[in-house]
Amino acid sequence: MSYFYNLFLISITLLSTGNLLSQNKGDSFIKQASFYHENDAFFAPKNTDDNYTAGLRLDVVTKELKFWQPFFKLTGKNPKYYNHFNFGFQSFTPTNISNSEVITSDRPYASYTFLSLGRTQLFKNTVFYSELSIGALGLPLAKRAQIYIHKKKFLGTDRPRPMGWDNQIENGGSLAINYKVNYLYVFNDAISHNYVIPSIRVMGNFGNYISDLYVGTQLSLLNINYSNSSLNFNEKVGYHHKRNGKTRFNIFVEPGFRWNIYNPTLQGALFLDNSVYTVDRSKINSFLFDVNLGMNLIIKDVLVLKYTLTRRTQEFSFGKQSHWWGGFGLGIKL
């Protein structure tokens, strides 16, 4: 059974379960189910299928779970708390994917497959998201997905079949655990009529998958029926808790700086690495500049659509000067 058919079945199962549990819309356990896919094919002029080449996240948002969780809990006026269950993967490849040999002049193949538990905390001007993910480097899911896409020529790709996945970082699997925090403060009413809404984001990843720190400034433009900072939140397909039957829209631009502390998709596993090829830490750039562009559209407070476009500067000294990828998200509020 094909990879995408399996994803379709998972998505239908999530949505069907949500509908069964949401007969009383005001008190449903499942609040939203969403699908988010990143791929450099979504930025067609730069569709070279290399570096960060694809990622997938399936997310189910629920009411707050009433048990201890390893997350910081903020306090404030009229808070809203929600939990997230996620499954997904990220994949990385060198530029020349038709070569089965190790290419020491480019980045190594790498992938991360994970399950995670997260919590969103909503306040008037603040969104705080925490996530604990448990997964593995080097599992075959990303390999199988990319081979299938190229074989079927999905997304308009005319790239050759990737041949070097057996050389990926920690091929066969290596445990990786990560903790993420993502804090967004929105300056509501900073400019008359909310024509332009500025925000500040601080984000950190800690663990043996990715360790980095990020600071960015976001501008939200063309804001239609903007009413809460959660509409502006860019944690993949952001959750907006209100359901008043409105259609909401905004576009955003967010430049930011990232301090790269540790990246196993280049450096290899943190402990007992068995990879056939890694990039030496001295060759990896510590500071990166990201630019995120995108739009959010919520139709009748039910159907959530999102598109993003991301540019990241050179990650290692002999890599390409910058890399682009796009992301498409679809969510159903239940």
Provide the percentage of residues in the chain whose pLDDT is more than 90.
57
Provide the percentage of residues in the chain whose pLDDT is more than 70.
84
Tens digits of residue pLDDT in 64-92: 998 899 998 888 888 899 999 999 999 99
pLDDT at 310 over 90: yes
> pLDDT class for 131, splitting at 50, 70, 90?
very high
Task: Please give the pLDDT value at position 280.
Answer: 95
What average pLDDT is seen over the chain?
86
Task: Please give the pLDDT value at position 45.
Answer: 64
Arithmetic mean of pLDDT, 230-240: 68
Task: Please give the pLDDT value at position 165.
Answer: 94
pLDDT at 155 over 70: no
**Contact by Cβ (8 Å): 61, 32:** yes
Strands 110-122 and 126-137: antiparallel
What the chain holds in terms of domains, given with CATH numbers, is 32-333 (2.40.128.140)
- Which H or E run includes 15? helix 3-21
Task: Please give the pLDDT value at position 190.
Answer: 62
Distance, CA of 190 to CA of 210 (rounded, Å): 35
Give the count of beta carbons closer than 10 Å to the beta carbon of residue 212: 16
Which of 15, 3, 2, 126 shows the shortest CA–CA distance to 73?
126
Task: Please give the pLDDT value at position 291.
Answer: 97
Arithmetic mean of pLDDT, 286-290: 98
pLDDT at 22 over 70: no
